[in-house]
Structure 1
């Protein structure tokens, strides 16, 4: 019987429920002290002085640090944006957003550090700030004067050949300006980090609440001039990420410098207020769209212009327009379509990838456009969608941005969602309320979507056969609630026949596995899961060699009975040997344990799709809106564990 596809209870949960999770803030490092950051209270200004004398004299204080005495090089932005827009770990000369760290206090306790931070006197000469995209676009006030521009990244028009589509022949044209509001990810566990140096100062152990431990390792090694092998990053339990923990934060990186300066382990955990104001934000994208077509419902033209707020220091958020570009025409076959965009810096918190990272913004734009178009021509919005979907026989389909959708049946997803929501009954109820003058209005929203997944670098998977016949699976993909350990064990069990309770999964430790990408972009099952599967299949091939020798048969004649987890000769079920026998043979021969590794890389993205229907009641007298029902129909592909998949959909909603 196959393990995959069964509702296996999450193996991570018993420890969480009986022992409790163990986060960075729960670590008990010998002699550890606490750090607190002093932050800018203005959006833009000249930093004229930081007086730390009084703070240094406060009880329990071990040190107060600024850019001058911490003395770390500036952090470079991502390669595709303007490289002149660097970021100091602690503000130097200029502050560029409210919450930017200016100084750090290290004390025996968190309370002592916080109290001493109030004694740090920061002198800032406020200057006019750029907080709105239209103001940033003019370039009258520059966030980074040395760059000579506020444009961090420019995305030329792609799609329709020869420039923007010509809407002249369209019978109907609709236009809109939309705002995807800036928001904060607010994971239950805010950012947190701890650093401990070896006595000789040559090796660093770093604990981080992160989605990408190897990224943190690489950043630390670069910042402190260490070999990567001298830096170990450990990620214990992580209380949510949502993209906000995908890139190392300056405060996290500074913790290592603080620990080196005071000669003791240093722990830092941000407050909720700091998380809201000083951590990275998401979305912050403005859009101008135009869509055209016939009066009978055929969409022929679409143009989307994107303005992305990158915040004060351009990170991955500045690159989000390219993710919007991937799926900007959504589920629809539109002959003439183009998208262009710019990312601009402003005096606000930096923007990063957040839950879908640019792709939900694309869905928002095209779905609003289709709704406006349907309303203008008097067509049911569901029918307008169905009429313009890429047909099932049209796959693989390459959209105007060059993205190739591998598979899809957008109409079926729409029909299933509408049926589950009882769409016809809802429309009848809506019409009845309107006709009767009911003050409680009924709103019905439809969103069909396609989403690119599995972006980014390869993922490493390793499987080792232990001496007792159990398996140890190592994965670079860090888990923080997704059920990775359960799913990776299921994949390994499926390929090897080793029972789930005999499989241990290790992740979140750079000392255990050489590399990883990151846990984001709906990529873990496809890349990390495939790496585990490929490694497991390779391990089976290695085991065939051992089994053939034991059973005195040709390798080609060896069969693995995954139901029993044993090997035998084809056509002769007895004798048979198990994984423990193979492990013992290697041990007796003085050989290394059987192990297999896979560095899995996918040639292209996979494109998932679905449809959501929202039913909302609105009190026309007060404007109060109440969500009555939400139906989600999602393309799930091959389900590893339906229980985990359902939990992810529920959590997302």
Structure 2
């Protein structure tokens, strides 16, 4: 280890042996004794996308074998819950006045077995007065049919609600530009597809509810469960076991989980619920779904001076988190990495009869990046300049102190041109262009495409920008770390143990991580927005340093020395007087001594960040397109992602790899689709094109470190960066491969059919 420090080394993940052998313990695996004999809940769901509920017939389900209870919103006395983003958009946890999308729960059956509950749920029928189904965003915006009548419009949120002006008249805004390009881009709807679908279990014991939930934020979700159960905060405990993927969709609480406590209390027995894959595809919040109208203007020499974006955000059927993602993240990140003096952005959030939109890896930042990177390509094509050259001449110069963009967003540090240079060099860009020219000259059936993306994103920007951490030294000298961040595969156990070991000298294998339990960790910000390392990790490091100082006081007494003379040797994990390491005290001895003095060797601390951090990077994608069939083959992906100081390169690479896979998947394959009646036609993994290793190349990851001043570790977020950089690069590469045929744009996903159609239309 360089310099004796564990940080910066490729330390193998502590988590992996369990997951690769016995496996994780997920919400549906929990075997707590209190759950013995649990009943099973299954939800009856709407088969209609939009309509007024006239009646719900549950009689056929009540008499089915094993059925213990059947409930609707009326029988449970559910009251409408107003949206915090538009109070006029209110709904009940089970549909009551109307149904708003296929799959919305309308009733719940509880039975002795899962099969019995499933059979009974199929006997529930709703009589619905059909209303026009609104699937198309612009159609919903113009329609007289309202999904929430009290809202007065299907546009349920607009940036003007934040006190921001609407975009200027486009012609007037761009009147002094020599070159103006415009485009209409659809950043399509995608499904998160975590390997673990949602599951939950609830039990009341001695007047207190304990509920296990597959969640990214147990502490944040607790308030929703308290409200749903009408109990005091102290009467509810949320436990999050291992989580098999979330990608943002498991931040919020969902109706199916929130009602279990009520059902368990009524039946006086534990109740479990687990969704099917098709239910997950219909009800677990989707991502992206943003229609973008983009205009860019500048000089014929390549200087971009004006940029205008109107993002129309699909909220889906509920006015939830997906409603505000565009205003809160797409708008401030609209300038991206470019020094464009005149920028205007407007966003409008619209409800449709589709699955609600929620956070999805990057949440608003990938949309902002995709919009401006597509515009840059169109601008370069219009003036006949290489897309790399246009980007380079418009990049914000390197800065190592806060920089404010023309849209008003303050970045911490950045070297965008440095990242682009590294990616270009690693890709062999000029050689790729030469090969592309040769293929075009020869009229080859398979043409080469090169896509470039330079990006910056905001991480750790969800309030509050702080995290607590607690470290407890046990009598045997091992340590327990308590964190408010919840891992879903990121490697928190390894990283947090490394950070604590760096400060205490306790081996990482002697540390245990506690998370996702509101009794043991009452306060926590959860895992989202790439905040975990820069806030949760910083808190753990801070706690490690502070508990070491606390321990020195006790060690000084044991060594009969002045505290100022006692040092902690982090390589051996022992305390000794400076200059005399032969006589030392272990962490175990210190912890036992503290307990004998009536104290505990425990310390809780809070780390507070003054601002978010802004990771950045550059991606180069290389694809091959078969002109005759439209088939795309992803040949190379070169990724330079700068997330500040690197704690563990192995974990960094893993996060980049996962992000690239999801980003490339959106560019090439994934899309949630509905028919004209609002029926989902991608409701399982046979119909939905989730990517696999077979469709991906080996990723070429280039490390670059520009430490931030925002936290003592110098780290930034990395969980979403790969997604943000890869999607525009891959999409641009596909378009680039066929641009010489007259193709200027292809919306994602760039499937063989869509590429072939674009070629035919251009010809």
- Report the TM-score range of the alignment, normalised by the length of the smaller protein: over 0.9
The structure 1 residue matched to 2:345, chosen from 327, 339, 347, is 339
Q: Which runs of 4+ in 1 moved over 4 A?
A: 157-165
SS in 2 for 1:326: coil
CA distance in 2, matches of 1:345, 1:407: 37
Q: Relative to structure 2, which stretch is displaced further, 149-158 or 273-282?
A: 149-158
Q: Among 234, 237, 252, which residue is 1:229 paired with?
A: 234
Map 1:430-449 → 2, pairs under 5 A: 430-449=436-455
Matched, 1:252 2:257: yes
Structure 1, gaps ≥5 residues long:
none
Q: Give me the whole-angstrom Cα distance separating, in 2, the residues matched to 1:642 and 1:253.
A: 39
Partner of 2:674: none
Distance 1:51 1:340 in 2: 45
Of 170, 180, 183, the match for 2:190: 183
Residue 563 (structure 1) aligned to one of 563, 568, 571 = 571
Q: Does 1:99 align with 2:99?
A: no
Asked if residue 488 in structure 1 is aligned to residue 489 in structure 2, the reply is no
- Counterparts in 2 of 1:70 and 1:312: CA distance versus 1, 3 Å: same
State the partner residue of 1:412. Answer: 418
Q: C-alpha deviations, 1:473-527, integer Å up to 9, x for none? A: 0001111100001110110000111111211111111111111112111110011
Contact 2:137–2:352 (CA under 8 A) maintained in structure 1: yes
Question: Which of 581, 586, 604 lines up with 1:573 in the alignment?
Answer: 581
Task: Say which is worse superposed, 256-265 or 381-390, in terms of deviation.
Answer: 256-265
Q: TM-score, normalised by structure 2?
A: 0.83
Within 5 A, what are the aligned runs for 1:223-372? 223-321=228-326, 322-372=328-378
How far is the alpha carbon of 1:70 from its aligned partner?
1.9
Matched, 1:522 2:527: no
Deviations 1:298-320 (A, max 9, x none): 11111111111111111111111
Q: Alpha carbons of 1:160 and 1:134: their partners in 2 closer, same or farther (altered >3 Å)?
A: closer
**Separation (CA, whole Å) in 1 of partners of 2:591 and 2:30:** 36
| Residue 162 (structure 1) shift | 8.4
Contact 1:462 1:474 in 2 (8 A): yes
> 1:521-545: per-residue Cα shift (whole Å, max 9, x none)?
1110011101111111111121121
* Correspondence 1:524-603 to 2 at 5 A: 524-589=532-597, 591-603=598-610
Structure 1 residue 163, shift from structure 2 partner: 8.4
- Measured against aligned partners, the alpha-carbon deviations of 1:253-301 in whole angstroms (never above 9, x if no partner) come to 0122222222211111111111112221111111111111111111111
Q: What's the TM-score once normalised by structure 1's chain length?
A: 0.96
Q: Name the SS for the 2:344 alignment partner.
A: strand
Q: CA RMSD in A?
A: 1.7
Is the contact made by 2:399 and 2:413 (CA closer than 8 Å) also made in structure 1? no
Is 1:613 the counterpart of 2:620? The answer is yes
On the 8 A contact 2:72/2:94 being kept in 1, the answer is: yes
In 1: Cα distance, 2:339 partner to 2:645 partner: 26
Report which stretch shifted further, 152-161 or 60-69: 152-161
**For the residues of structure 2 that align with 1:250 and 1:76, how far apart are their CA atoms?**
14
User: Is 1:148 matched with 2:156?
Assistant: no
2:47 equivalent to 1:47: no
Farther off after superposition, 364-373 or 306-315: 306-315
8 A Cα contact 2:221 2:251, kept in partner: no
> Secondary structure of 1:420's partner?
helix
2:174 corresponds to 1:171: no
Q: 2:138 aligned to 130, 134, 141, which one?
A: 134
Question: Per-residue CA shift, 1:558-616, capped at 9, x if unaligned?
Answer: 22211111222233434322211211211222x13121112222111100001111111
CA distances 1:160-197 after superposition (whole Å, capped 9, x unpaired): 99887821111111101111111111111111111111
CA distance in 1, matches of 2:553, 2:230: 45
Following superposition, the deviation at residue 352 of structure 1 comes to 0.4
User: How has the CA–CA distance of structure 1 residues 74 and 556 changed in structure 2, closer, same or farther, with 3 Å as cutoff?
Assistant: farther
Structure 1 residue 198, shift from structure 2 partner: 1.4
Choose from 9, 16, 19 the match for 1:13: 16
Deviations along 1:99-120, whole A, 9 cap, x unmatched?
A: 1100011111111111111111
Secondary structure of the residue aligned to 1:606 is coil
- Find the aligned partners of 2:398 and 2:421 in 1 and give their Cα distance: 14
Instruction: Please say if residues 159 and 337 of structure 1, whose CA atoms lie closer than 8 Å, have aligned partners that are also in contact.
Output: no
Unaligned runs of 5+ in 2: 661-763
Contact 1:159–1:400 under 8 Å retained in 2? no
Q: What corresponds to 1:113 in structure 2?
A: 117
Rounded to whole Å, the distance in 2 between the matches of 1:343 and 1:237 is: 34
Q: CA deviation at 1:87?
A: 2.3
Question: Aligned-pair distance for 1:219?
Answer: 1.1
Task: Give the match for residue 202 of structure 2.
Answer: 195
Moved more, 553-562 or 283-292: 553-562
SS of 2:603's partner is strand
Maintained 8 Å contact 2:212/2:240: yes
Query: 1:122-144: CA deviations, max 9, x gaps?
Result: 11111112222212322511111
Q: Distance in 1 between matches of 2:102 and 2:608?
A: 40
Give me the whole-angstrom Cα distance separating, in 2, the residues matched to 1:159 and 1:242.
Answer: 32
Give the CA deviation at 1:400: 2.1
Which residue, out of 479, 483, 486, partners 2:487?
A: 479
CA–CA distance in 1 between the matches of 2:5 and 2:167?
Answer: 50
1:47-102 C-alpha deviation (Å, 9 max, x unpaired)? 1111111111111111111001122333332x3x1112122110012111111100
Aligned to 1:70: 76
Asked whether the equivalents of residues 155 and 342 of structure 1 are also in contact (C-alpha less than 8 Å), the reply is yes
Count residues with an aligned counterpart: 648
Q: Secondary structure at the match of 2:55?
A: strand
The question of 1:455 aligning with 2:458 is answered no
Of 180-189 and 393-402, deviating more is 393-402
CA distance in 1: counterparts of 2:616 and 2:633, whole angstroms: 27
Is the Cα–Cα contact under 8 Å of residues 160 and 400 in structure 1 kept in the other structure? no
